[in-house]
Structure 1
Amino acid sequence: MPTWAETLTVATSGRETYDITSRVQRAVAKSGIRVGLCNVFIHHTSASLIVCENADPEVRRDLERFIARLVPDGDPLFAHIDEGEDDMPAHVRSVLTQTAITMPVARGKLPLGTWQGIYLWEHRLAAHGRRVTITVQGETRDPDS
């Protein structure tokens, strides 16, 4: 079964969501895989991946407000603060979300829903360069061709 991989760098400017849908779709198209699976993996413990609504950015801001209430910066509960008050909260946020997402490939692309997008969610306050590996496995021909 053919397998293809590409690693991207996503520049972040601090805590927020970054739409990587088109970059992942381009990688799937470049792979030549027509039907199979795509795995997207982030190589970090203080950022994560989500599939989320792509129409109204307020949805992602609401998610940020919710998780800030759930895991606030500077919480005295946390002893691990080596890199600042957002250090341990960023790790918790990452654990509560996802570091990898697997999606189907059909007809050479990800068949995302109308309102779905793939986002890197930066949990640190400072800018970072985040590595994301996209692996695509499957067949290079559609099964019914």
Structure 2
Amino acid sequence: MYQAKELTVSTRGRGLVDITGEVRKAVKGTGIREGLCTLFLHHTSASLIIGENADPVVQRDLEAFFSRLVKDGDPLFQHDAEGPDDMPAHVRTVLTQVSLSIPVKDGEADLGTWQGVYVWEHRTSPHRRRVTVSVLGG
């Protein structure tokens, strides 16, 4: 059996948005007991990650690292049609991912104890992001 649901995620600008609850609800709503959940983000300037959900300092540290690695307004980048964060947002996405796979066990998204699912917005302004949650199994 296969089922899919689309999520719309509003971001506040650069940073992480926890979508774990929405993913868990989508998986549970399929009625699929065992299988695989695939998440796909339909954008080139944001990404999906599974990260620690217990300590918010982890999120700040990730952002600090990426801010050092890929600087806004870097003269290296020519693509700046939407501002100084345009190309850096694309680079951040390429270095991370837009698709995740999570096992489904006993009708639940089988995440680890400290794992959360996040949309990581790489642009500095707010956006609405589209995520497809696909569940395949029985």
- TM-score relative to the length of structure 1: 0.94
Counterparts of 1:69-80 in structure 2, within 5 Å, are 69-80=68-79
Match of 1:142 in 2: none
Structure 1 Cα separation of the partners of residues 102 and 29 of structure 2: 16
Match of 2:112 in 1: 113
Max Rg structure: 1
3-state DSSP of counterpart to 2:108? coil
Structure 1 Cα separation of the partners of residues 32 and 83 of structure 2: 43
User: What CA RMSD, in Å, does the superposition of the two structures yield over aligned residues?
Assistant: 0.4
Q: Report how far residue 105 of structure 1 moved.
A: 0.2
Q: Report how far residue 41 of structure 1 moved.
A: 0.5
Residue identity opposite 2:34 in structure 1: V
3-state DSSP of counterpart to 2:64? helix
Structure 2 Cα separation of the partners of residues 111 and 29 of structure 1: 11
Structure 1 residue 94 and structure 2 residue 101: aligned? no
Match of 1:143 in 2: none
Q: Report how far residue 111 of structure 1 moved.
A: 1.4
User: Unaligned 5+ residue runs, structure 1?
Assistant: 140-145
Structure 1 Cα separation of the partners of residues 41 and 51 of structure 2: 16
Flag as ranges the 4+ runs of structure 1 deviating above 6 A.
none
Match of 1:67 in 2: 66
Structure 1 Cα separation of the partners of residues 2 and 122 of structure 2: 31
**CA displacement, residues 63-118 of structure 1 (integer Å, 9 cap, x when unaligned):** 00001100000000000000000000000000000100011000001111111000
How many pairs align? 138
